[in-house]
Amino acid sequence: MLVDQETIVNDIYRGVDQVAHSIILPSSRAYSDAISQPTFNIEGAMALFNELGWTDSNGDGVLDKDGADLAVTLATHSEDPNRVQTVEYMQAIFESAGVKATAQISDWPSFSTNYVQKSMHQIALLGWLNIVDPDRLMFAQLTTGGSTNWGGYSNPEVDALLQNGRSTLDQAQRAKDYQAAATIPAQDLPYYIVSARGYQMFYSKDIPVTVQATLRGNLRGLIGFTD
């Protein structure tokens, strides 16, 4: 509820990306527009914080509970200036909602290999490439103990649905399994998918062949540590 996708996609990424609604790409046969993540709503987020006992008890503008401030670290890597700008923008939004947010920017090896992959992050902005099939992203990153499940997410129902999805050749059934599986993390939020990544293609109109864009299957999103 504190991720302003519209501004990130349309202003920072200049409309090249597409606002995402779930972990399944719009180009996938398993995509369903019935699956939806929470949308941007600062007031709603603050109300939920209050319900959980976080209030600004001392008037310093930061929510606190039991003597501790509500604080989070937002991380990404320095090689992508748009991601850096996104994290800095999110930092400002979080702070406007009473969350003490720190932006941590490092080089890619330090961010990826020595931070996210060691499950040291709280919230990290990164992307996934070449997701030609839902299993390519979802199984390893969302099943309990998955090889790239760096956030420690675990849900037996998701495990079963994703196992079913990779165990049948019936594409219609696979789509149903992946849709059902994607609905759960859209609420649990081990990931928040910011956008379906877009690319610009340039070519000469004089090329004597028909040029067609290929959907590459890329997502840009936030991974959160849930364990």
CA distances from 139 to 34, 160, 169, 199 (A): 21, 10, 16, 26
Domain range for residue 85?
5-224
- The answer on pLDDT for 202 being more than 80 is no
**162: domain CATH number?**
3.10.105.10
Judge contact between 23 and 219, C-beta under 8 A. yes
* Of 127, 139, 152, 153, nearest in space to 218 by CA: 127
73, 30 Cβ separation under 8 angstroms = no
Please give the pLDDT value at position 128: 87
pLDDT at site 210: 75
Closest CA to 111 of 227, 223, 22, 226: 223
Q: Distance between CA 219 and CA 198 in Å, rounded?
A: 9
pTM summary value: 0.88
pLDDT at 204 over 90: no
Q: pLDDT for 58-83, tens place per residue?
A: 999 999 999 999 999 999 999 999 99
Buried b (16+ CB within 10 A) or exposed e, 4-23: bbeebbeebbeeebbebbbb
130 pLDDT tier (thresholds 50, 70, 90): confident
What does the chain come to in residues? 227
Mapped onto helix, strand or coil, the DSSP state of residue 52 is: coil
Counted domains in the chain: 1
% of the chain with per-residue pLDDT over 90: 78
pLDDT in tens, 83-95: 999 999 999 999 9
